[in-house]
Amino acid sequence: MRGRPGPSWKVVVNVPREKAYAYVADVGRHAEWGSQADGMTITADQPGEAAVGKTYAADGTLLGKRNPSKVTITELDPPNRVEFEYEDSRGSGGHVFTFTPQDGETLITRQIYGIKQPFFGPLLFMIFKRKIDANYNGALSNLKTKLESGAS
């Protein structure tokens, strides 16, 4: 993690962590479980398996406007951790997903961090915290549904 750690969101899923890890590590599939509000599309720049350094073109809705970005996988530690960073017109940051065994299930934690953010970024986060929480909690709920219904 290159930036300052930010907030995190969690969900427990009833699948082995290897399965949860593999699904999240396939970054090109994130649009399958992202929140509806994002309307995300994401496409690998080159075909092939997930790998550190692999890049993607992503586009989602941010603050009511379409926001294209470049996404790069920065760490893969099977089955424990997936990290990727994004860069867009507003700056850059990252997402870290960790997978922890918990009573026969898997706790997935998603943490965000900023690398290069506008000086008013923390203020925007506070203003839009409820929307951000709804977005990330909705995405994790979708992820849980996909995983528990057999996504692989």
Q: Where are the domains of the chain?
A: 4-148
Of 45-49, 77-81, 96-100, 113-117, least confident by mean pLDDT is: 113-117
Length of the chain: 152
Q: What is the DSSP string of 71-93?
A: EEEEEEETTTEEEEEEEETTEEE
Structure tokens at 35: 């929140």
Rounded Cα gap, residues 87 and 135, in angstroms: 19
Give the bridge partners for 94, in sequence order.
85, 113
How confident is the model at residue 68, as a pLDDT? 94
User: Residues 37-51: pLDDT tens digits?
Assistant: 778 899 999 999 999
Asked if residue 60 lies in contact with residue 41, where contact means CB atoms within 8 angstroms, the answer is yes
How confident is the model at residue 90, as a pLDDT? 82
Mean pLDDT of the 82-91 span: 92
Quote the pTM value. Answer: 0.88
pLDDT(14) > 60: yes
Q: What does the mean pLDDT of the chain come to?
A: 88
User: Residues 53-65: pLDDT tens digits?
Assistant: 999 999 988 777 8
Question: For tokens 């960073």, what's the residue?
Answer: 85
Helices within 26-128 (DSSP H only): 30-33, 121-127
Give the bridge partners for 86, in sequence order.
71, 93
Q: Which fold has domain 4-148?
A: Alpha-D-Glucose-1,6-Bisphosphate; Chain A, domain 4 (3.30.530)
